[in-house]
Chains A and B, each alone.
Chain A
Amino acid sequence: MKTGRRSNELGVLRPYDFEKPSVKLGYALLIALLILVLLISLMPFVWVVLAGFKDQREFIRGVRTVMADGSVRYLPRLLPEVFDLSLYVKTWNDTRFYLYYVNSLIVVAGSAASALVFNGLLAYGLSQLRPRGHRLVLGLVMASLMLPATTSMAPLFVNINRIGLSGSFWPLILGVGASAFYVVLLKNFFDNMPASLLESARLDGCSDLSLFFRIVFPLSMPINMVVLIYAINGAWSDFLLPYLVLNNAKWASGATKETVMVRLFSFQSSNAARDIDVIRAIVFSIIPPILLFILFQRRITDNVVSAGIKG
């Protein structure tokens, strides 16, 4: 917590309101309600991690309990009988989850670079270079912000197949480079960049392209970080297009080319999967986003406001 609260962090209630007992009681109720909300937010995470420690039988039936009259019953319980990481390790190895991790990480790294470079260059052109006719492109970008992306899923899939990119990571990586949302975020940031700075670099003989990489990009680190975090999390979480493009795809070595989310989705259709393996796969799939959140917590929660209008 910061010391010295800014005045705009004061709410409806003022210090002197608390002289009334009814307000004090109401405030206590409000805090109690918020703690309940906190539990509802966090409990599912706790539950899934704990459930992952159980074996299939314990997960399905509950814990073997000897009742007072000597009979044996199986009762559901939150805590596992034993805390033993080896079951997690076994699922990790049996399902060869590391293969999916590697695939996802490749897509994530590529998507992050693609999001910054392609959207960045387009936003730079629309914001600073503004060649004749740029308004048309800007209008088209803004219009695609409004239209649901899923509308075009079927023709997009057809086109990807037509040019032979099915089974490749490229459509996933390059697709992030056409995000109206990132273009608008970046353009708004570039719009506020001091013109004098760009002008003086130009007088030094800097070309438009190197101006972007030497001046505009390094000066936009705050917004680049926002785009980067969203692109990373988006690429990790995406599954519709990855599923369509990578379903059953293989590397030349014969190893699977599916990402973590595609693997998770295929649990849905296979009856062979044991519930407990699905539970552990869920845990594996949420570790990277949670690490990302822990690392960049402040930046993420502070930037939701500009980014959240995405809906």
Chain B
Amino acid sequence: MSTIKSNALKQSARRHRALKDLGAWLIMLPGIALFAFFVWVPLAEAVRMSFYKTQGMRTTEFVGLYNYSYMMLKDPDFWPAVRNSFLYTGWSLVIGFLVPMALAMMIHETKRGKSLFRTAVYLPNMMPALATIFLWKYLFRADQTGYVNMLLGKLGIAPVSWLSNAQLVIPVIVVIMTWKGAGATTLIYLAGLQSISQEIYEAAIIDGAGIWSRIRHITLPQIYNLARTLFILQIIAVFQILYEPMVLTGGGPNNASVSLMQLVFRQAFELGDYAKASSVSVMVSVVLITMTLVYNQLSRKKEM
């Protein structure tokens, strides 16, 4: 008797639970549908498309790794783009990685005006990327009316053709990216600096630690983990660079600034070859996922 009753209870509880779950799934459904349409399906399609030949928007025949080998062996822009994507990343680590860290440490020391400095360094982040790029295109204009050249002219330096010089173009683009992006990273470092416990400093000072040794033995180790995370995030972000070379130089001069994502854009939207475009974006994703995994592995080892 009692077992029948408890079974009935269990059954109704199960039904109740199932109904509740159904309701929950219905609430989440619009979001899931949007994710499927805008993120998950296109990602899967990119992988699939990269193994096919496409005509317009339709896939016609399975060609295996043909698109990959074509891009790697026959496309004249591929290897310059690979080299440049690594150059962008390298230069951004040289120019852009330490700037926000140093800025944050400096702003953190100021006795007044902290919020002014914070606001000022963050303002460029609010700028639309496209407006930033156009603005700097004019600032770096080659003749003497470019503002940067005008300032250099006051110091007696002759005008430089910043963006049409194959040696300079990538560092100049990285400077522009740093101008726009450093503020947000600076604020993240500032939060990290503020969370360092004051007792550690006090203890070190009692032990007679000077200013430099406080920085070396306390501040830097305390923000080390944060810096490592920001390091990998920066690599991932810069490796995908697209807008800057597209608008500033069109990839020139002579492919000196063309990037991998720019090849994706060209193949897909200028040449209409979605399959080749997808093969390049899959390669980019593989590189990024590998870097993320290597990073995760390394950081796990460090913690143990």
> Which chain A residues have a beta carbon within 8 Å of chain B's beta carbons?
1, 7-14, 17, 23, 27, 30-31, 33-34, 37-38, 40-42, 44-45, 47-48, 51, 59-62, 76, 78, 118-119, 121-122, 124-126, 129-132, 134, 137, 140-141, 144, 146-159, 161-162, 171, 174-175, 177-178, 180, 183, 207-209, 212, 233, 236-237, 239-240, 244, 261, 264-265, 267-268, 275, 278-279, 282, 285-286, 289-290, 292-293, 297, 300-301, 304-305, 308-309, 311
Least CB separation from A18: chain B residue: B111
- Cα distance A285–B131 in the bound complex, in angstroms: 7
Complex partner residue of B46 from A13, A119, A134, A155, CB under 8 angstroms: A155
Does B237 belong to the interface (CB within 8 Å)? Answer: yes
Is there an interface contact between A62 and B27, defined as CB atoms closer than 8 Å? no
Set of chain A residues within 8 Å of B135, measured between Cβ atoms: 44, 48, 282
18 extra A-B contacts, CB within 8 A, seeds A12-B219, A27-B109, A151-B281: A1-B114, A11-B109, A12-B105, A41-B123, A125-B28, A131-B20, A134-B28, A144-B40, A154-B269, A159-B37, A208-B24, A209-B27, A237-B129, A239-B128, A286-B131, A297-B119, A301-B115, A304-B122
Set of chain B residues within 8 Å of A183, measured between Cβ atoms: 31
Is there an interface contact between B201 and A12, defined as CB atoms closer than 8 Å? yes
Is there an interface contact between A152 and B122, defined as CB atoms closer than 8 Å? no
Set of chain B residues within 8 Å of A30, measured between Cβ atoms: 106, 109-110
Is there an interface contact between A174 and B38, defined as CB atoms closer than 8 Å? yes
- Cα distance A40–B268 in the bound complex, in angstroms: 37
Is there an interface contact between B205 and A14, defined as CB atoms closer than 8 Å? yes
- Cα distance A62–B28 in the bound complex, in angstroms: 59
Set of chain B residues within 8 Å of A62, measured between Cβ atoms: 144-145
A-B contact count (CB 8 A): 291
Complex partner residue of B128 from A149, A177, A285, A304, CB under 8 angstroms: A285
- Cα distance A171–B39 in the bound complex, in angstroms: 12
Most chain A CB within 10 A, of B37, B229, B288, is at: B37
Is there an interface contact between A121 and B31, defined as CB atoms closer than 8 Å? yes
Is there an interface contact between B247 and A140, defined as CB atoms closer than 8 Å? no
- Cα distance A137–B289 in the bound complex, in angstroms: 20
Set of chain B residues within 8 Å of A149, measured between Cβ atoms: 39
- Cα distance A41–B238 in the bound complex, in angstroms: 21
- Cα distance A103–B124 in the bound complex, in angstroms: 24
Is there an interface contact between B24 and A290, defined as CB atoms closer than 8 Å? no
Complex partner residue of A212 from B20, B27, B34, B218, CB under 8 angstroms: B27
- Cα distance A1–B116 in the bound complex, in angstroms: 9
Q: How far is the CB of A285 from chain B (nearest CB, A)?
A: 5
Given contacts A150-B240, A151-B282, contact A76 B144 (CB under 8 A): yes
Set of chain A residues within 8 Å of B130, measured between Cβ atoms: 237, 239, 261, 264-265, 285
Complex partner residue of B134 from A34, A161, A209, A278, CB under 8 angstroms: A278
Set of chain B residues within 8 Å of A42, measured between Cβ atoms: 120, 123
Is there an interface contact between B188 and A45, defined as CB atoms closer than 8 Å? no
Set of chain A residues within 8 Å of B30, measured between Cβ atoms: 118, 121-122, 177
Is there an interface contact between B127 and A289, defined as CB atoms closer than 8 Å? yes
Set of chain B residues within 8 Å of A244, measured between Cβ atoms: 269
Is there an interface contact between A151 and B31, defined as CB atoms closer than 8 Å? no
Does B184 belong to the interface (CB within 8 Å)? Answer: yes
Query: A-facing mask of B233-245, CB < 8 A → 1, else 0?
Result: 1101100101100
- Cα distance A19–B219 in the bound complex, in angstroms: 22
Q: How far is the CB of A88 from chain B (nearest CB, A)?
A: 16
Top-5 shortest CB links A-B: A122-B31, A152-B42, A237-B128, A125-B28, A155-B45
Query: A-facing mask of B171-202, CB < 8 A → 1, else 0?
Result: 00000000100011101100101111010010
30 example contacts (A-B, Cβ-Cβ < 8 A) are as follows: A14-B205, A30-B106, A34-B110, A41-B120, A41-B123, A61-B145, A76-B145, A78-B147, A121-B31, A125-B24, A134-B28, A137-B28, A146-B289, A148-B285, A148-B288, A152-B42, A154-B268, A158-B45, A159-B41, A159-B42, A159-B45, A208-B24, A209-B23, A282-B134, A292-B126, A297-B119, A304-B122, A308-B185, A309-B233, A311-B234
